[in-house]
Amino acid sequence: MLQGGLVYPSGPGCYYYLPPAVRAMEKLVKVVDGEMQAVGGQKLNMPSLSSAELWRASGRWDGMGPELFRLVDRHDKAYCLAPTHEEAVTELVAAQSNLSYKQLPLRLYQVTRKFRDEPKPRFGLLRSREFYMKDMYTFDASEEAARQTYDLVCDAYCSLFDRLGLPFVKVQAATGSIGGTVSHEFQLPADIGEDRLLLCPNGHFAANVEMLNGERTSCPTCGEKLTQSKGIEVGHTFYLGTKYSSISNAVFCSPKNKPQLAEMGCYGLGITRILAASIEVLSTEDSIRWPSLIAPYQLCFIPPKRGSKEEEEGVTLLERVYDDLAEVLPHLAGDSVLDDRTQLTIGKRLKDANKLGYPYVVIAGKRVCEDPPVFEVWNQNAGEVLFLTKEGVIELLSKVQVP
């Protein structure tokens, strides 16, 4: 990501996100928004500064230890930079004094910067001290309804990773500092992953090793020996029950007109972590590969080298392809890059395009002088090279999705 000009380090575990990384991240957030809104999610935005009183009430001011960034304002009031927002959102819902069961379920989410004072920030965006997360918090009228919400959001996560083409596993997980009674992690299997997973080869069982205290070696369903694998955690879901609603007194009015505590769940997705982890699992040794849906740019045009005999013809034809494309597929016009460093050979620019991972590269090479002119098109994710006329190029690109 450093070599590709996606990020630049500013200090331990803190990065500048450069324009291509921001484009990819904004696309990812759009896809996430779609999945969250499909399950009735409403987007809001909560303050990064969270008061110590809130965190003391839940016991996490002390429980989180040195991972919490703490600060004191000029009036000597203590705050933390929130790594997560269970306390804050529950306080918000508790403040809505006449909430009725008819207004539930409530599914609130945000995509914001979070902060964690990591002892050893490493692996770039995978373990940093400042990162983007999508966190959803749900409020239901009964345990049964809350568990249905839990399954619904887990299914939305599965749908998201399927759409991104990422090979994920959903594993049983420990509840850690968040708490609650049921928890799952969404893991991308990868050699550099910091989590150790135990998986049934037939897909019946999957758990994080920290869940199992080392006593389980075979699948509880089929008896097969469990295999070990490493994973990068990209999502985590928790069924919380009334752990937080009981502290803030987040109640709603039941059908019998009695105040009743809301049943909660919380659901995190590491936005910047998904970016880094998807590059980690999809890329080759020297070339970035993106989930095609969130590549910063879908398309790179490479005109002929300056002074070559196809220069004049090639530049004109490539412009014509772009103009036709902008007319027929306007969503791709803003997703295209022209590599106008025509002092470089096509080969050198193709190598750079390969490194940066544009899903499609359209080259005006020697064959643009044929009749009809033929373009060389690299479909990076499929690993194939096609020779197509202008119409062929447009037909191929009409299948490209942009969020």
Task: Give the pLDDT confidence of 35-47 residue by residue, as tens digits.
Answer: 999 999 999 999 9
Query: pLDDT at residue 98 above 90?
Result: no
- 11 burial (CB, 10 Å; 0-12 / 13-18 / 19+) is exposed
How many CB atoms neighbour CB 383 within 10 A? 9
- 203 burial (CB, 10 Å; 0-12 / 13-18 / 19+) is exposed
| Length of the chain counted residue by residue | 403
Question: Which structural domains are found in the chain, ordered by start?
Answer: 7-282 (3.30.930.10), 297-397 (3.40.50.800)
How many CB atoms neighbour CB 287 within 10 A? 15
62, two tokens: 């002390």
Tens-digit pLDDT profile for residues 247-291: 999 999 999 999 999 999 999 999 999 999 999 999 988 889 999
Given its phi and psi angles, is residue 248 left (phi above 0), alpha (psi -120 to 50 degrees) or beta? alpha
Vertex 110: Cα angle to 85 and 74 (nearest 5):
50
Query: pLDDT at residue 206 above 80?
Result: yes
Whether the CA torsion 149, 155, 161, 163 is positive or negative: it is negative
For residue 17, which of 113, 119, 109 has the smallest C-alpha distance? 113
Query: pLDDT at residue 164 above 90?
Result: yes
pLDDT band at 367 (very low <50, low <70, confident <90, very high): very high
DSSP assignment string, 107-170: EEEEEEEEE---SS-BTGGGB-SEEEEEEEEEEESSHHHHHHHHHHHHHHHHHHHHHHT---EE
Average pLDDT (67-83) is 97
Q: How many CA atoms lie within 13 A of 195 on its CB side?
A: 28
| Span of 189-193, 216-220, 252-256 with lowest mean pLDDT | 216-220
Place of tokens 């509880």: 220
pLDDT band at 349 (very low <50, low <70, confident <90, very high): very high
Query: pLDDT at residue 97 above 90?
Result: no
Query: What does the mean pLDDT of the chain come to?
Result: 94
Query: pLDDT at residue 178 above 80?
Result: no
Query: pLDDT at residue 176 above 80?
Result: no
For 303, residues 6+ apart whose C-beta sits below 8 A from its C-beta are 311, 314, 315, 318, 338, 339, 340, 342, 364
Residue 182 or residue 271, greater confidence: 271
206/394 Cα distance (integer angstroms): 44
pTM of the model: 0.94
Tens-digit pLDDT profile for residues 285-319: 888 999 999 999 999 999 999 999 999 999 999 99
Average pLDDT (336-363) is 95
Query: pLDDT at residue 365 above 90?
Result: yes
pLDDT of residue 215: 79
Average pLDDT (51-78) is 96
Q: How many helices (H) and strands (E) does the chain have?
A: 12, 21
